[in-house]
């Protein structure tokens, strides 16, 4: 296929083509561990400005590209970015994460939500994704991302990040009708948003269900998995060729269930040995991951050993090399550079 021969490495691997080495990128590769990001943050102290003023979001997205040439360049944004477009006002507080000013707790609030119209409420996404594609050409793959219904509902209902998820679990386990309506509305709008990101240039899209690992497996089956499926099914109806990645944090007890979500690729976190993940999922499920982000605090020799170990365990098909979750803010940039250099020499090393 002519298209495939010029397609960038990550996209080819994500489609299941045989490649010479696993493509590599890092979750949260743009952000606080980079001096260039911290400097820009002084000029634009508001996260919403950094992620919604197109020139700034483009610059931030490209900072890791310019520094390390990863095989994937991810849109700089946040999972809560589309919420104002549904009628949920939000802010992102320094050091705290998303804040929802009027948390969703009632039927009336759910009824008042409107379906997302990305052209109207997220026009900057188009500018950013188009520019990223233009900038990286066929040298790298542009990734979009969204939050999954359960994780977005956790923010919308709790009003902020939570350690216990008491409010949303109270809702889920006492009177789940309102919550299911909210999750259905989110699934619908998130599917619209994924389609929009693809139409604007995203070549692979990752869905973060970061807090679905807080659910027991039976509750995951009720409150997370069906809504992940809804999003993936809707997107596949119109965009069957765009690879979709699923991430759940703390997913060791959920891997087999995640494999039924309709995602093309599963992110594996470091609580599971990559060899075990492969054995449990079978050889047809593509995987991403899975180094402990803390490995990047280790020596160069240690970082290299862990990369080699992961890549050998993952085998030579259907693997995107990544951390098991986002890079930590205190990580030395030098070690991030070493991680990418080592990963990109892999066909010579393995
Ligand atoms: O360039 C990229 O790699 C994109 C980075 C990215 C951000 N948010 C930027 C950001 C991604 C992939 C997200 C998604 C996101 N946002 C998730 C899913 C990923 C995951 O970690 O599971 C979640 C749960 C959120 C919600 C959120 N937003 C949190 C928990 C925080 C961090 C709070 C903190 O300060 O520790 C945010 C804020 C945020 N989003 C930051 C960044 C770089 C940090 C704030 C800043 O840099 O000023």
Closest CA to ligand 1's atom 27: 97
> Is the CB of residue 155 below 6 angstroms from any atom belonging to ligand 1?
no
pLDDT at residue number 207: 98
Tell me the whole-structure pTM to 2 decimals: 0.96
Q: Cα separations (Å) of 287 from 137, 196, 275, 301, 321?
A: 25, 25, 11, 25, 9
pLDDT at residue number 50: 97
Is the distance from CB of 80 to CB of 155 less than 8 angstroms? yes
Domain of residue 314: give its range. 4-349
Reported as a single tens digit per residue, the pLDDT across 89-108 is 999 998 899 999 999 999 99
Low-confidence ranges of the chain (pLDDT < 50): 1-2
> Is the CB of residue 78 below 6 angstroms from any atom belonging to ligand 1?
yes
28 in catalytic set? yes
Provide the number of structural domains found in the chain: 1
Query: In 3D, which of 186, 157, 156 has the Cα closest to residue 173?
Result: 157
- Domain containing residue 233: CATH number: 3.20.20.210
> Is the CB of residue 32 below 6 angstroms from any atom belonging to ligand 1?
yes
pLDDT at residue number 2: 44
| Alpha carbon of 78 to ligand 1 centroid (Å) | 6
Is the distance from CB of 225 to CB of 190 less than 8 angstroms? no
């Amino acid at each position: 296929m002519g298209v495939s021969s010029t397609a960038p490495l990550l996209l080819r691997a994500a489609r299941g083509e045989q490649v010479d080495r696993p493509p590599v990128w890092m979750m949260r590769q743009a952000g606080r561990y980079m001096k260039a990001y911290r400097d820009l943050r002084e000029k634009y102290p508001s996260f919403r400005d950094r992620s919604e003023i197109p020139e700034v979001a483009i610059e931030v997205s490209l900072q890791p590209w310019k520094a390390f040439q990863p095989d994937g360049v991810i849109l700089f944004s946040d999972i809560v970015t589309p919420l104002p477009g549904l009628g949920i006002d939000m802010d992102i507080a320094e050091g705290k994460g998303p804040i929802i000013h009027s948390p969703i707790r009632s039927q009336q609030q759910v009824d008042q939500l409107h379906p997302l119209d990305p052209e109207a409420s997220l026009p900057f996404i188009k500018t950013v994704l188009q520019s990223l594609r233009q900038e990286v050409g066929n040298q790298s793959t542009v990734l979009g991302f969204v939050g999954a219904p359960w994780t977005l509902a956790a923010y919308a209902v709790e009003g902020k990040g939570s350690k216990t998820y008491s409010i949303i679990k109270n809702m889920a386990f006492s009177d789940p009708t309102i919550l299911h309506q909210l999750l259905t509305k989110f699934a619908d709008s998130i599917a619209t948003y994924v389609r929009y990101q693809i139409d604007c240039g995203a070549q692979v899209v990752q869905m973060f269900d970061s807090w679905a690992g807080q659910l027991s497996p039976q509750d995951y089956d009720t409150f997370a998995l069906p809504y992940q499926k809804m999003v993936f099914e809707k997107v596949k109806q119109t965009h069957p060729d765009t690879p979709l990645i699923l991430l759940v944090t703390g997913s060791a007890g959920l891997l087999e269930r995640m494999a039924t979500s309709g995602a093309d690729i599963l992110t594996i976190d470091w609580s599971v040995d990559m060899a075990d993940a492969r054995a449990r999922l079978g050889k047809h499920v593509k995987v991403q991951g899975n180094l402990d982000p803390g490995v990047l605090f280790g020596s160069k020799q240690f970082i290299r050993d862990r990369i080699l170990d992961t890549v050998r365990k993952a085998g030579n098909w259907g693997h995107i090399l990544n951390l098991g979750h986002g890079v930590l803010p205190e990580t030395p940039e030098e070690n991030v550079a070493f991680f990418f250099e080592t990963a990109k020499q892999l066909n010579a090393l393995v």
